[in-house]
């Protein structure tokens, strides 16, 4: 151990520390880990066990930032445990289903007592001691229940804390911040403004009424236990998106990232502009390594999914200070309470208003096309010298449809690949499994879109809906071909799309409760749904970035609220389709030839 590290360790050892934390550090030092790296591992894992810290150190052996003196950020939250927590979790789930994600979904239900602050790794255990002492001192005056008053605005929905109870919580936060700042030599700022428990934040204004109705199903006086909890996060990735890995990917190039199911990846949206379509560049939460990975191997995760819980103080009749590793009969390690007799009751209440079937619009990108796999020169790869088509790869279609013009036009209007046909039929089968009634089908005249719609209907294998082909979504009766502009501007495209979706909605009787299926292109998802939702068009640069990330058969679903004369975006009626790449293989390479 270096002299400076030894002196620093000795200095910290003389201060008040829990015996368990000291034992953990000494065990890591005995294994030969430098003090600063051992303390970093303990801080990153919540000082739970020697096994967790050792595992973290081994997984981060190639982490380029392992030696960097970057501390964690810490926050003190007051979290509900019990039936109120279950009500809030059901609200989270239902609000996300009916209105989509908003900022509140990034974090679990909580009241912020002290917002994020930094603390050196070797002083974190002093925060634990502070939490216990301050908790003990406030135990007798802590309210048995906390007054929660519902407040709503066009961009915020949540519970404000009643003044008398808020004053006690503010005094608790102030006491913790004062002692923690003095002992751990860090700047802790208590929250002294209006204390609140957020339900929804930064949502679209037209969702306000729906969210309010869901919130009114929550009984704020429900049985609850309050727990003051200390969390930490990696300060380097505060403004990044967090992705959860769904499938394992083994790197095939030196700049690619090894990912395993359940890993979390930090992705900076500002760094993705030059990345190839379908890929992202990110940093692994599990290893600290950075590289490229296929985006469709991941899904969006919550910001708090990577946070670490350090210690809790549970406000009950007798003081009790819990480490996360302790087991309680009713309290899970993640702070949730299990009550089987009550489970699911809120879901039923929140879902009552959705029992009535509504008209919906399902907008979908076409399936995989051949040039997406084999490049722009795909046609040259499967034509004989005399211009006849043959199947050069099993992913080429078995035959090409006959067309009046030259076969060369397939270069500008490519068909689906065999995988694209299979994808489309899978979607149709999924629609059939979910008993989704497709009343109308509209398709772009592009061959790949017509084929996608055709194979979806074949996969559905039910009474076929009427397939209407609109010329690049230009309804012939109102938009003759002569009105088209060869080089259309983005503004003209947005205006035309808005007019077309309105005409489609008008042409399909509102008394029908089925789904209007629209098969188009990546750009169709935003250009058709945003006018329905009453949202302005995206900025052209932002629009291009969004479109390039939409995969084959990517879809979004809008549902009509006829009684309110508006539409809302909800989860599509079928699951997404995810699969990996399968490169061309030559058996000679590496098998026969060296």
Strands across the sheet containing 438-443: 466-469, 438-443, 515-520, 360-365, 555-561, 566-570
The span from the CA of 162 to the CA of 157, in Å, is 16
Chain centroid offset of residue 76 CA: 24
515-520 vs 438-443, strand pairing mode: parallel
Q: Which residue has the tokens 């894992």?
A: 45
* Residue 233 designated active-site: no
d(CA 544, CA 584): 30
The residue annotated as part of the active site, out of 105, 110, 359, 521, is: 521
Give CA separation, 334 vs 263, 266, 327, 462, in Å: 18, 22, 11, 45
Report residue 200 as tokens: 């929804």
What is the torsion angle, in degrees rounded to the nearest 10, for the CA atoms of residue 85, residue 89, residue 90 and residue 92?
140
In the residue annotation, 521 being an active-site residue is answered as yes
The span from the CA of 302 to the CA of 191, in Å, is: 23
The enclosing H or E element of 227 equals strand 225-234
* 239 has catalytic annotation: no
Q: Which residue in the list 85, 310, 359, 366 is annotated as catalytic?
A: 366
CA atoms within 13 A on the CB side of 220: 18
Among candidates 571, 511, 561, 573, which has minimal Cα distance to 213? 561
Catalytic residue among 17, 110, 196, 365: 365
Nearest by Cα to 573 from 472, 428, 464, 439: 428
**Active site members:** 365-366, 521
């Amino acid at each position: 151990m270096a002299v400076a590290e030894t002196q620093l360790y000795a200095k910290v050892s003389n201060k008040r520390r829990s015996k368990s934390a000291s034992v953990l550090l000494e065990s890591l030092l005995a294994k030969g880990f430098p003090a600063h790296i051992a303390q970093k591992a303990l801080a990153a894992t919540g000082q739970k066990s020697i096994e967790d810290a050792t595992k973290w150190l081994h997984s981060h052996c190639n982490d380029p930032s392992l030696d960097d003196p970057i501390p964690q950020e810490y926050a003190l939250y007051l979290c509900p445990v019990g039936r109120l927590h279950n009500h809030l979790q059901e609200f989270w789930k239902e609000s996300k289903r009916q209105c989509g994600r908003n900022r509140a979904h990034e974090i679990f239900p909580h009241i912020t007592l002290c917002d994020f602050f930094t603390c050196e790794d070797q002083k974190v255990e002093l925060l634990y001691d502070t939490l216990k002492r301050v908790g003990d001192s406030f135990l007798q005056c802590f309210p048995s229940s906390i007054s929660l008053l519902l407040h709503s605005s066009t961009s915020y929905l949540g519970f404000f804390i009643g003044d008398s109870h808020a004053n006690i919580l503010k005094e608790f936060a102030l006491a913790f911040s004062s002692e923690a700042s003095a002992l751990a030599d860090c700047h802790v700022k208590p929250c002294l403004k209006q204390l609140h428990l957020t339900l929804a934040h930064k949502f679209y204004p037209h969702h306000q009424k729906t969210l309010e109705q869901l919130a009114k199903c929550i009984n704020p006086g429900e049985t609850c236990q309050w727990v003051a909890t200390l969390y930490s996060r990696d300060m380097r990735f505060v403004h990044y998106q967090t992705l959860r890995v769904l499938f394992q990917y083994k790197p095939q190039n030196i700049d690619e990232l090894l990912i395993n199911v359940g890993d979390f990846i930090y992705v900076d949206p500002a760094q993705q502009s030059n990345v190839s379509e379908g890929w992202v560049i990110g940093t692994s939460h599990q290893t600290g390594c950075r590289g490229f990975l296929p985006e469709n191997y991941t899904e969006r995760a919550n910001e708090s999914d990577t946070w670490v819980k350090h210690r809790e103080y549970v406000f009950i009749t007798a003081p009790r200070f819990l480490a996360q590793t302790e087991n309680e009969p009713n309290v899970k390690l993640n702070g949730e309470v299990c009550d089987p007799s009550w489970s699911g009751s809120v879901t039923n209440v929140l879902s009552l208003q959705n029992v009535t079937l509504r008209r919906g619009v399902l907008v979908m990108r076409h399936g995989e096309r051949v040039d997406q796999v084999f490049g722009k020169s795909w046609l040259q790869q499967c034509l004989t010298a005399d211009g006849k088509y043959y199947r050069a790869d099993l992913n080429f279609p078995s035959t090409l449809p006959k067309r009046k013009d030259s076969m060369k036009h397939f270069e500008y209007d490519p068909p689906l690949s065999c995988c694209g046909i299979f994808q489309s039929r899978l979607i149709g089968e999924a629609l059939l499994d979910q008993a989704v009634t497709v009343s109308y089908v509209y398709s772009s005249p592009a061959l790949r879109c017509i084929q996608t719609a055709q194979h979806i209907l074949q996969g559905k294998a039910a009474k076929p809906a009427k397939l209407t082909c609109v010329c690049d979504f230009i309804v012939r009766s109102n938009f003759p071909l002569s009105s088209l502009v060869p080089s259309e501007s983005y503004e003209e495209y947005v205006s035309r799309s808005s007019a077309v979706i309105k005409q489609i909605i008008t042409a399909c009787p509102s008394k029908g409760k089925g789904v209007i299926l629209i098969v188009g292109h990546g750009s169709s998802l935003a250009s058709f749904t945003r006018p329905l939702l009453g949202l302005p068009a995206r900025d052209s640069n932002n629009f291009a970035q969004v479109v390039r990330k939409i995969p084959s058969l990517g879809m979004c679903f809008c549902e009509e609220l006829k009684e309110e004369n508006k539409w809302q975006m909800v989860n599509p009626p079928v699951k997404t389709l995810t699969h990996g790449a399968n490169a061309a293989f030559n058996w000679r390479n590496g098998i026969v030839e060296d």
